[in-house]
Amino acid sequence: MSIELNQPALRHARSLVREGKVVRDERDDWSEAAPTADEENSFIERDGWTEYSHWHLGIDKSADRETKGAYSFPFGDFRRVHRGGVIAGESRAGQYDHVEIRDALKALLELIDADS
């Protein structure tokens, strides 16, 4: 398992921030705001795996792309970027030495905070 930075997801996240589609919550709020398994399933059924992948900054390219296990480091609720999700992801990426993902999330947080 080799998790890499999902570049299309990063572009998507930056675009959402520039459009103002951001919830300026705190890290602890992410546990309540993160999509549930049922919400994820509904989103995948409606919008497909490619769109689902655009909401996760981590991707395991060796995994089946049509499984949730291929994606990690979610940052939003399928409508908006959540600041709390970005903070939580940055911390977790740092813990597991995913330096590129950690740095991308840090830069995304700076973009969110600069825009407020």
E strands of 9-89, at which residues? 22-23, 56-60, 71-74, 81-82
What average pLDDT does this structure show over 102-110? 97
Give the Cα separation of 77 and 94 in Å (integer). 22
pLDDT for 31-72, tens place per residue?
999 999 999 999 999 999 999 999 999 999 999 999 999 999
- β-bridge mates for residue 60, sequence order: 3
Looking at residue 115, what is its pLDDT? 65
Q: CA dist 73 to 68, 85, 88, 98, Å?
A: 11, 8, 9, 10
pLDDT at position 88 over 90: yes
Looking at residue 69, what is its pLDDT? 95
Q: How many CB atoms lie within 10 A of CB 112?
A: 20
Q: Quote the DSSP letter at residue 91.
A: H
Taking all residues of the chain, what is their mean pLDDT, rounded to a whole number? Answer: 95
Q: What phi, psi does 2 have (nearest 5°)?
A: -130, 105
Whole-structure pTM value = 0.94
Looking at residue 56, what is its pLDDT? 98
What average pLDDT does this structure show over 78-91? 96
Give the Cα separation of 43 and 54 in Å (integer). 12
Looking at residue 82, what is its pLDDT? 97
